[in-house]
Chain A
Amino acid sequence: MKKFLCMFLCMVLAMQALTGCGGKKTGENGVVYVYNWGEYIDPETISMFEEETGITVIYDEFDTNEAMLPKVEAGASKYDVICPSDYMIDKMIQKGLLAELNFDNMPNAKKNIGAQYYEQSKGFDPENKYSVPYCWGTVGILYNKTMVTEPVDSWSILWDEKYQDNILMQDSVRDLFMVALKLNGHSMNSTNKEELEAAKNKLIEQKQKSLVQAYVIDEVRDKMIGNEAAIGVIYSGEAIFTQRQNPDLEYVIPKEGTNVWIDSWVICKNGENKENAEKFIDFMCRGDIALMNFEYITYSTPNTEAQRLIEDEDIRNSKIAFPNLDDYENLEVFRYLGEEADAMYNAYWKEVFSN
């Protein structure tokens, strides 16, 4: 036992020696606290920002909007810049957590971010006062051309009995209901009981006919690459990656319309470095920086300057990465619907799964 303890200590010490000691000092021009999604930035861009401005970035990551909110709300750490998704920004505005931005301090944000993305942002930030779009995408149907030969242009294919046990649906309440609501021609932000009831019945029908192979989130990617299913509901950002791995896959935005999601930079009201925060956001909006981040994350960038700089022609002109939003009708962003509506959605969701 003693020997074991001894060896164990040696191992810990060796690990320490191997990894060396880190720790950051405060930069000459202060600090900025950034709270972003995991793997959602090219680390190189942070070093560049630190070098050019003399501001130290203290960087932290979260895995879901829901995990981020309580930490920010409790005020445990005073973050300056955060990158939440659309409906969460809506919620944070309503809770009074966000500070208004001064676009005069952010010329790149004003100049480089395409107008159509600010337009879409109005769904959750009506006056474009609080947020600067960072990444965006659509939700659509990914299908395998070897298994689906007919043309796909509608959500209704997810109810086609030919593809029994061959369909992948999203396993999150709003994404799942979005499909059924859109198919029925309703808004995906609906709080109307009858519309939700109809959507629920549609989903139960789909489940009872055992059309759905699985309700998944990330696994869509790997399952579709591995030819394990014919059709899947997927985020456009993942679609490009899956196509590179498996050229048989094709992505479409259904004609009934879909969800446009946007993750945007916002500044927290209780942060202490607003000036540095605006510098950080503006730096991320610079064309070359946005391009680096696009290549790292591979989710669509709203930065028109970066779009122009993309070298690979296929990607620059890709209809998946950069669809012209004006070509589609009924595109929507998720809104925060309030606690009552959230509870209603959850109740219907449970009903779908208990059937």
Chain B
Amino acid sequence: MIRTGLKRIYIGLIFLFLYAPIFTLIVLSFNASKTRAKWEGFSFKWYISLFENEAIIQALQNTLMIAFLSALIATVLGTMACISLQSMKRKTRAVLIGITNIPMLNAEIVTGISLMLLFISLGVTFGFTTILLAHITFNIPYVILSVMPRMKQLNPSTYEAALDLGASQLQAFFKVVFPDILPGIISGFFMAFTMSLDDFIITHFTKGPGIDTLSTKIYTEVRKGIKPEMYSLSTIIFVTVLVLMLLVNYTPKKK
């Protein structure tokens, strides 16, 4: 009895710590006052001014575009890397995987500044492209990390059997190998997507004038106080993700 009670309290605490900050933000997004210290009544005014604020909407669009494109490209490149890693000798593979892991463990600021210096020395103009390239770069290791284990579980004989039965190499890959590693690819894509969505430091160093993602936009507002429009935007994003998650988990599966 006591044990289950304690368990419930424990899980309650976990949820409290996870969600209390988000809940505070959601409540504040409906506060008519600009300051968090005063409650001046329920209002949708920050939601209205959010959609009237071109700069924030533009930043949102950039963020989604960059996250989506960089995750997609990184997924393709990362999966291709896994295929070739799989066919290497054990030793070379270990070394190469080690190398691809370094950018993940490296401090973000190091990656950010080195990319900036690289772009400068190559004479690239800073803007959308440089952010995209940077995001692809730091996303690839995450894709490899999630695709590689799936690749290792594959039975190499099935691929060879497909070849023996007359499939071309490409056919054999898409009919036999690909369906097996698909869950890894999908989770790699989402990991890359969220990493890109989150990133501030690398974006800060690789962005050019006149382009902002949500994270850099929010950061610049720190000195004057973050605008309540940001609360409402975060609320919308949170609710969207929540609904999406519920739909995925509750739709009955057709088989």
A contact set with B: CB distance below 8 Å: 1, 3-5, 7-8, 11-12, 15-16, 19, 22, 24, 33-35, 37-40, 43, 58-64, 67, 70-71, 74-77, 79, 218, 221-223, 225-226, 228, 245, 297
B44 contacts the other chain (Cβ, under 8 Å)? Answer: no
Task: Flag B117-132 by CB within 8 Å of A: 1 or 0 each.
Answer: 1011000001000000
Q: How far is the CA of A34 from the CA of B247 in the complex (A)?
A: 45
A221 touches B120 (CB 8 A): no
A245 touches B35 (CB 8 A): yes
Least CB distance, B180 to chain A, in whole angstroms? 14
What separation, in Å, do the CA atoms of A276 and B233 have in the docked complex? 36
B162 at the interface (CB under 8 A from A): no
Residue of B nearest to A64 (CB): B223
Contacts of B83 on A, CB cut-off 8 Å?
none
Q: How far is the CB of B56 from chain A (nearest CB, A)?
A: 10
Report A267 CB to chain B, min CB distance, Å: 15
Closest B residue by C-beta to A299:
B224
B221 x A77 contact (CB < 8 A): no
Contact call A12/B58, Cβ cutoff below 8 A: no
Q: Which residues of A contact B61 (CB under 8 A)?
A: 15-16, 19, 22
Nearest 7 pairs of A and B residues by beta carbon: A38-B220, A226-B37, A61-B220, A60-B209, A58-B210, A39-B224, A225-B37
Are B209 and A33 in contact, CB atoms less than 8 angstroms apart? yes
**B30 in contact (CB, < 8 A):** no
- Interface pair B224/A8, CB less than 8 Å apart: no
Known A-B contacts: A4-B248, A222-B36, A226-B36. Give 8 more (CB < 8 A): A7-B244, A16-B61, A22-B54, A37-B224, A60-B209, A77-B209, A218-B225, A221-B225
Closest approach, in angstroms, between the C-beta of B5 and any C-beta of chain A? 35
C-alpha gap A40/B208 in the complex (Å): 19
A interface footprint on B10-41 (CB within 8 Å = 1, 0 otherwise): 00000000000000000000000101111000
Known: A15-B61, A58-B209. A75 touches B120 (CB 8 A): yes
Binding site for A on B (CB under 8 A): 33, 35-38, 54-55, 57-58, 60-61, 64-65, 68, 113, 116-117, 119-120, 126, 182-183, 186, 204-205, 208-210, 212, 217, 219-225, 227, 240, 244, 247-248, 251
- Residues of A within 8 Å of B244, CB to CB, are 4, 7-8, 11
Q: How far is the CA of A43 from the CA of B120 in the complex (A)?
A: 30
A296 to chain B, nearest CB (A): 10
**What's the minimum C-beta distance from A87 to chain B, rounded to whole angstroms?**
16
In the bound complex, CA of A228 to CA of B36 (Å) = 12
Contact present for A19 and B58 (CB under 8 Å)? yes
Give every chain B residue within 8 A of A61 (Cβ-Cβ). 212, 217, 220
**Residues of chain B lying within 8 A (CB to CB) of residue A43:** 55
What residue in chain A is nearest B220 (Cβ atoms)? A38
Q: Is the CB of B208 within 8 A of A77?
A: yes
Contact (Cβ within 8 A) A225 B35 = yes
| A38–B223 alpha-carbon span in the complex (Å) | 7
Does B205 lie within 8 Å of A38, measured CB to CB? no
Q: Which residues of B contact A76 (CB under 8 A)?
A: 116, 119-120, 126, 205, 208
B219 cross-chain contacts in A, Cβ below 8 A: 38, 63
Q: Please, how many angstroms separate the alpha-carbon atoms of A218 and B251 in the complex? A: 45
- CB-nearest residue of chain A relative to B208? A77
- Are A38 and B222 in contact, CB atoms less than 8 angstroms apart? yes
Chain A residues whose CB sits within 8 angstroms of the CB of B204 once the complex forms = 67
Q: How far is the CB of B22 from chain A (nearest CB, A)?
A: 19
Nearest Cβ distance between residue A241 and chain B, in whole angstroms?
A: 8
Chain A min CB distance to B146 (Å): 14
Distance of A11 Cα from B209 Cα, bound (Å): 28
Q: Which B residues touch A5, using CB under 8 A?
A: 186
B107 to chain A, nearest CB (A): 15
Smallest CB–CB gap between B19 and chain A, Å? 22
CB distance from A211 to the nearest CB of B (A): 22
Q: A43 vs B119: C-alpha distance in the bound complex, in angstroms?
A: 30
Q: B210 touching A59 by the CB < 8 A rule?
A: yes
Contacts A16-B65, A71-B205, A76-B116 given; does A225 touch B220 at CB 8 Å: no
Q: Tell me the minimal C-beta distance from B42 to chain A in angstroms.
A: 18
> B33 contacts which chain A residues (CB < 8 A)?
245
Are B205 and A218 closer than 8 Å at their CB atoms? no
- Residue of A11, A34, A297 with most chain B CB atoms under a 10 A cut-off: A11
Checking A60, A77, A222 against B35 with a beta-carbon cut-off of 8 angstroms, the contacting residue is A222
What are the residues of chain B within 8 A of A19 when measuring CB–CB? 57-58, 60-61
Interface contact A15-B64, CB-CB below 8 Å: yes
Chain A residues closer than 8 Å to B182, beta-carbon distance:
1
- Hey, which chain A residues are within 8 Å of B37, CB to CB? 222-223, 225-226, 228, 245
**A79 CA to B61 CA in the complex, in Å?**
24
Please determine whether A37 and B223 come into contact, CB atoms closer than 8 angstroms. Answer: yes
Contact A15 B210 (CB under 8 A): no
Q: Which residues of A contact B183 (CB under 8 A)?
A: 1
A225 & B38 in contact (Cβ 8 Å cutoff): yes
